[in-house]
């Protein structure tokens, strides 16, 4: 290995050398600046040699070229990171004027021929020198390399040769000393920041990755098999996120393979197990006051199906109207409820014993049940709405008789909110033998945020549902429901309209208290009380058009169905409410507590929240519900371990554990829109 430096050769005229000499001097000065820079590198060579000797392993050796393309040094890159560049010996070349002429100098000495004559740097016959270093001796040639003469010893501070062998790098100094560095393939690795990733069927999970030893031109990709697909979103050269998506029917666990490759045979691979979370059943959405006599048509049934309502009911669903509704439901998943109110209201004054005898022999009842029980779109029988307590026994008797005549379809009764207490629920579940506990109460309908007694009712129905193993359904107002003015209820229904926040807070709060079905009141425009025209903003208008409430319901029912893997079959581990106290509230009431993984939390005084932990199989979810539907709010949360945030469509997004670097720093702030919630998978 040798260093070859070409010096510009300039011819000048015999009569006027001054301008040419100045030009030559400029070129020499430029060369000198370049060589001075190299001399600085040489001055640090001792430190570099020590670094080379201390290096555990090298991964590559790359030549360094000068402006003319000649190799002037080498860069050694280390396996543990960092690099050192060593240069071959520079030749300090200058020209100097003496006796009216310009002469060549090398390393401060005049360059002379074998007779001791100096070499002239300017003139028509002035030769251009070439320099070489061989065996530590600097040489110069003025005849284009035909002959060489020694200039002097280079010294032991210069690099003679760099040998880039297969298994080692050998650097030889002119002193004869060698530095040998074993070679190692570059450390190339890819790793995800999760040990495993939860993936709900039909949704996606997103988690970060990092690459060690990344070099320009490398590619990162992800591979998933079976019912999953994977893609990479690059954020920087060394990091990004992996997005894995599962089909709706995905059931089998799989591994996602992460790869990084340089396209030249070097590839690093990592595997992340993906755990599929089944979708769970679809939530029951019961559309109440649907399609009265003047609005029973195919399009309206289709609108139910589009907005995910899967059961429709109306007081008009008797006789031919019931069959007509079922006919329009063909081709959809929609079920129709048959109303049977006459079998209670027509016998209110009868004794329970006489009523039981009537049911046993009533041929009209038998014929009516036989007429509908094999209808594919029959959901069940609606018996009565908001009955008084004295009718509980009759409800139980009718339920029993209908089960004898048709054991395949349930019976439906709806109670009103004030009956959701121990004094009414206990006789109801023991006398009426209900298939479902349903009650209507509309905490957001009258211009207020939910009041405390609504939560008392929810707590009661949840307790009785669990104790007697009876599913329960709860309503949400999806139309304008009037308001209170100076404590008096007003039938001016235009005052309070449904919003995304008001519907969402009702549906989700019911879910958080364990509801098995969610009911819509009212689905279709319906005449108001006292002859007034009310509920004009129901999802389905009387003329068949759709109101804003329709799109609210459609959006919310989809997101709840996409998140049903959280709630279907889940156990409420803890359920608490925030209570405002001071500037920031951390006091919680009711049962349960914040899980330990939530290392820090703060609730502002501008809102109140329902805080819950639910367990579903091996999965645990932490939920914060904004209890107001009138304004957005926020919470501050920190997590001791990484968690996943659940999106509206059920997708999981990785949230890293909080790293505390400042004792006074606020935890991460999360905004919660009106009536909305935060859901985190914490286990």
3-state helix, strand, coil in the chain (%, to 5): 25, 35, 40
Q: How far apart are CA 522 and CA 537, in angstroms?
A: 9
Token pair belonging to 284: 């029951």
Stretches where the chain sits below pLDDT 70 are 1-59, 66-70, 72, 78-82, 86-95, 107, 122-125, 128, 131-138, 152-160, 174-175, 184-186, 264, 291-305, 445-451, 482-496, 526-536, 542, 579-592, 605-606, 659-666
pTM: 0.72
Q: Transcribe 553-616 into DSSP letters.
A: HHHHHHHHHHTHHHHTT-EEEEEEEE---SSEE--EESS----TTEEEEEEETT--EEEEEEEE
Instruction: Output the CA torsion sign for 357, 363, 364, 365.
Output: positive
Token pair belonging to 377: 């779109």
Q: How far apart are the first and last CA of the chain?
A: 62
According to DSSP, the β-strands at 643-646 and 197-200 are unpaired
- For residue 393, what pLDDT is reported? 98
Comparing CA positions, the residue from 513, 505, 514 lying closest to residue 608 is 505
User: Are the C-beta atoms of 653 and 645 separated by less than 8 Å?
Assistant: yes
Q: How far apart are CA 633 and CA 570, in angstroms?
A: 27
Residue with tokens 């926020």: 634
Angle between helices 500-512 and 452-468 (to 10 degrees): 40
Report which secondary-structure segment, H or E, holds 178. Answer: strand 178-182
Q: Please give the backbone phi and psi of residue 102, each rounded to the nearest 5 degrees, phi first.
A: -105, 135
User: Are the C-beta atoms of 225 and 179 separated by less than 8 Å?
Assistant: no
Angle between helices 392-405 and 352-361 (to 10 degrees): 20
- For residue 105, what pLDDT is reported? 77
26 three-state secondary structure: helix
User: Are the C-beta atoms of 382 and 412 separated by less than 8 Å?
Assistant: yes
Token pair belonging to 658: 């909080």
Q: How far apart are CA 420 and CA 682, in angstroms?
A: 33
> What does the chain come to in residues?
683
Is the bond preceding residue 522 a cis peptide, omega within 30 degrees?
yes
Residue with tokens 């405390």: 452
Residue 128 burial (CB < 10 Å; 0-12/13-18/19+)? middle
């Amino acid at each position: 290995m040798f260093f070859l430096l070409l010096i510009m050769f300039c011819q000048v005229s015999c009569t006027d050398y001054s301008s040419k000499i100045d030009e030559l001097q400029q070129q020499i000065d430029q060369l000198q600046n370049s060589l001075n820079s190299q001399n600085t590198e040489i001055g640090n060579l001792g430190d570099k040699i020590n670094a080379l000797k201390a290096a555990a392993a090298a991964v590559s050796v790359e030549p360094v070229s000068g402006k003319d393309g000649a190799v002037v040094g080498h860069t050694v890159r280390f396996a543990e990171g960092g690099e050192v560049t060593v240069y071959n010996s520079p030749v300090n070349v200058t020209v100097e004027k003496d006796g009216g002429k310009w002469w060549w100098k090398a390393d401060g000495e005049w360059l002379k021929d074998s007779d001791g004559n100096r070499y002239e740097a300017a003139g028509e016959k002035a030769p251009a020198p070439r320099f070489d270093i061989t065996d530590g001796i600097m040489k110069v040639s003025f005849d284009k390399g035909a002959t060489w003469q020694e200039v002097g010893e280079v010294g032991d501070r210069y690099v003679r040769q760099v040998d880039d062998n297969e298994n080692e790098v050998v650097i030889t100094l002119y002193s004869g000393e060698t530095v040998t560095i074993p070679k190692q393939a570059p450390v190339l690795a890819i790793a995800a920041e999760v040990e495993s990733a939860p993936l709900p069927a039909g949704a996606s999970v997103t988690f970060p990755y990092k690459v060690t030893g990344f070099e320009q031109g490398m590619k990162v990709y992800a591979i998933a098999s079976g019912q999953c697909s994977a893609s990479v979103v690059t954020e920087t050269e060394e990091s990004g996120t992996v997005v894995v998506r599962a089909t709706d029917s995905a059931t089998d666990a799989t591994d996602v393979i992460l790869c990084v490759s340089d396209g030249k045979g070097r590839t690093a691979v990592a595997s992340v197990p993906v755990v599929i979370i089944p979708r769970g059943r679809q939530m029951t959405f019961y559309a109440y006051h649907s399609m009265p006599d003047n609005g029973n048509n195919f399009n309206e049934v289709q609108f139910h199906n589009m907005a995910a309502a899967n059961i429709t009911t109306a007081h008009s669903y008797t006789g031919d109207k019931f069959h007509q509704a079922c006919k329009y439901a063909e081709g959809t998943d929609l079920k129709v409820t048959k109303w049977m109110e006459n079998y209670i209201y027509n016998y209110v004054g009868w004794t329970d014993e006489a009523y039981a005898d009537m049911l046993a022999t009533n041929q009209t009842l038998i014929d009516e049940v036989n007429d509908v029980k094999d209808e594919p779109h029959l959901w069940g029988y609606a018996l009565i709405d908001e009955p008084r307590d004295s009718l509980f026994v009759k409800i139980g008797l009718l339920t029993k008789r209908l089960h004898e005549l048709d054991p395949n379809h349930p019976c439906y009764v709806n109670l009103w909110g004030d009956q959701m207490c121990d004094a009414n629920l206990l006789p109801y579940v023991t006398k009426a033998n209900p298939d479902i506990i349903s009650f209507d109460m509309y905490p957001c309908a009258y211009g207020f945020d939910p009041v405390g007694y609504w939560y008392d009712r929810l707590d009661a129905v949840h307790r009785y549902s669990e104790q007697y193993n009876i599913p329960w359904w709860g309503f949400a107002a999806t139309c304008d429901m009037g308001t209170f003015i100076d404590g008096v209820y007003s039938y001016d229904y235009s005052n309070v309209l449904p919003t995304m926040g008001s519907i969402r807070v009702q549906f989700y709060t019911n879910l958080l208290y364990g509801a098995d079905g969610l009911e819509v009141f009212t689905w279709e425009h319906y005449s108001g009380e006292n002859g007034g025209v009310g509920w004009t903003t129901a999802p389905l208008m009387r003329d068949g058009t759709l109101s804003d409430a329709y799109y609210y319901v459609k959006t919310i029912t989809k997101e709840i169905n996409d998140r049903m893997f959280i709630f279907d079959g889940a156990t409420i581990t803890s359920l608490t409410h925030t209570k405002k106290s001071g500037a920031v509230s951390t006091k919680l009431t009711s049962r349960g507590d914040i899980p330990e993984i939530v290392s820090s939390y703060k609730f502002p005084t501008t809102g109140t929240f329902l805080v819950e932990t639910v367990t579903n199989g091996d999965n645990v979810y932490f939920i914060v519900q904004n209890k107001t539907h009138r304004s957005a709010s926020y919470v501050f949360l920190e997590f001791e371990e990484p968690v996943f945030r659940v999106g509206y469509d059920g997708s999981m997004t990785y949230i890293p554990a909080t790293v505390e670097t400042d004792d006074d720093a606020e935890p991460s702030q999360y905004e919660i829109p009106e009536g909305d919630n935060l859901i985190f998978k914490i286990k």
